[in-house]
Structure 1
């Protein structure tokens, strides 16, 4: 049986659409994903992004839970850099109280990751070259440093935190989250408080990361499952997987490493149709890479009307070349290569298309090719 296949959804807006339309599409896709047999349905957290409606994972997950029955739901990922441990535990504790045992609490570092990216850029004087590892393309890395150092990023960051607030180190906020989930939370002097809702919640805690940095190492050291981003940072996926496994220590919840790897995919009935539907993706990625945030996903006609430069090509090359596009057989084979090379225990796929039926159809075709739906007791 192939490894489990799950979905990451950004609740993307499309050109000419609005937020309500994007969210209704997400609810419909989640219902379909459950019918198709996908293992998990995760939603992202992005802020100040014109083309992404998934800004508050817990709120969106509550709506998805209400229209689905059994598919696991989760965050990919809650950004710990501008939330307290208590707010995170209360949000997901509330979800678990209403829909017990269905939620994955996926955590990311956000603000801390920006600082690390700036340090890593300064440290690596010799750039990593593109390579192919056992059939898997590992492209040159993209540097986020100019975007993270921009005035727009500074403005966004100022609105995500109270004035003067400092993000807690990853280990510290994890300590607080686990202590609040276990309940009661004590200060060592006999004083205690209990998170209601939150204490006792049945959550599966994950860490997500885009490199072999702190998130990968911490997930391993704490014996937590880890999700590595091939779709966001394909150049660093092998580094992330290696760092996670090298640092892994068995925990009460996980006896051996458990790695999920993400990928951008688009499936259609044949390769030519898929390639046609994929045309707007490069223009959408360009909007992200220029630091303005993802725009509403363009139509094919809008994308074809854009005058590309060589600089534009370089800006999006790693994302476009590592997106798996084609017929069900073509994409399934590419996903099997990704799984084999990374040793992933699960795969997480994300698909964006201008027309909603094309996106739904992509997930349906892939699920059938993957062998879904599996019997419930085999998931």
Structure 2
């Protein structure tokens, strides 16, 4: 199947982190039975509503609880760790679960520093490309300058640590894996880990992935405005490698499928409030109940803050969601889609993946 899953191990309102992690294990087992290709875990820090702060640890737990589905990161933030430590972690998992491990790498730590120094933001209009909504870009530079996030960034590295250039870090990762580095990663060297680069624009991540002939994951669910630029830049930069003869792209999307439209809209409540908590710099809140979502009083500024995410989420009956995803795949030329679903109730989330798998596989 050309659908995969990205999981944040979300913590719902009234739930503990331990309960959320058990839900992730349960969902991974269900995803395997449903035939999803990959199960990736995100990396988030300082978020009261997200339990995936240590993806390598959680990936190992998911791998132990499953047997065939590929497991991986979406993505390890390389600005917070050294290439050696990342290769050792994922090499260790591969040693026990060989041939199933994806190492997805992002550069958000470096990108955050760049955004904090970015020039004045230039707004753009929304557009529709062959049926796919490309919303105006969100001004991430404001978020990068939030005092909480600036402080948190210092807590993710040793004092005085300087992150090397992303391309150099990727080259080190590849060298450690293939045994051409002067030092040896054990476990890690020779591991059958599949390396992916994740990106949300046509910048360095897309360039590095293309130039090194690695598969690329483009972000439509968090930064939908830049998805076409990202995939175009990757393909333009692509050079065949020992890994790939041709470009290979996976595109992410936020989805929610339910039995019918009214049910989907009711279950979807809380998503806009949850996104608002992220974009105000507070960190992802515990995912609210529909009642808690209804109680929030929205301002025009609040609505504008989350509009691009809300408008590009695929919500509805499974056939409708599947059709929206087919449009996304066609317009981006994606080889796979990476879907993420967050709801207050775990059973609603699991049912969404079940309904969508059935609709996607139906002729």
Q: Same fold (TM over 0.5)?
A: yes
Match of 2:316 among 307, 326, 344: 326
Match of 1:206 among 186, 196, 219: 196
Aligned-pair CA distance for 1:100: 0.6
Distance 2:187 2:143 in 1: 37
| Maintained 8 Å contact 2:219/2:252 | yes
Deviations 1:142-190 (A, max 9, x none): 111122112211211111000110011111111111111122631xxxx
Deviations 1:44-103 (A, max 9, x none): 001111100001111001100111010000100000001001100000000000111100
Distance 2:158 2:108 in 1: 16
5+ residue gaps, structure 2 = none
Match of 1:181 among 156, 177, 180: 177
Aligned-pair CA distance for 1:131: 0.5
Match of 1:23 among 18, 21, 24: 21
Partner of 1:252: 242
Q: SS in structure 1 opposite 2:71?
A: strand
Partner of 1:156: 152
Deviations 1:258-290 (A, max 9, x none): 010000000001111101111110000000010
Distance 2:253 2:236 in 1: 23
Aligned-pair CA distance for 1:10: 0.1
Aligned-pair CA distance for 1:137: 0.5
TM-score (norm 2): 0.98
Q: Is the deviation greater in 146-155 or in 23-32?
A: 146-155
Q: SS in structure 2 opposite 1:264?
A: strand
Distance 1:204 1:315 in 2: 36
Match of 2:138 among 135, 139, 142: 142
Q: SS in structure 2 opposite 1:122?
A: coil
Aligned-pair CA distance for 1:116: 3.2
Distance 1:86 1:151 in 2: 31
Q: SS in structure 2 opposite 1:216?
A: helix
TM-score (norm 1): 0.94
5+ residue gaps, structure 1 = 187-192, 375-379
| Maintained 8 Å contact 1:184/1:195 | no
| Maintained 8 Å contact 2:121/2:139 | no
Deviations 1:305-337 (A, max 9, x none): 111111111010000000000001100000000
Matched, 1:339 2:329: yes
Partner of 1:36: 34
Distance 1:147 1:326 in 2: 30
Partner of 1:45: 43
Superposition RMSD in Å: 1.3
Distance 1:13 1:109 in 2: 25
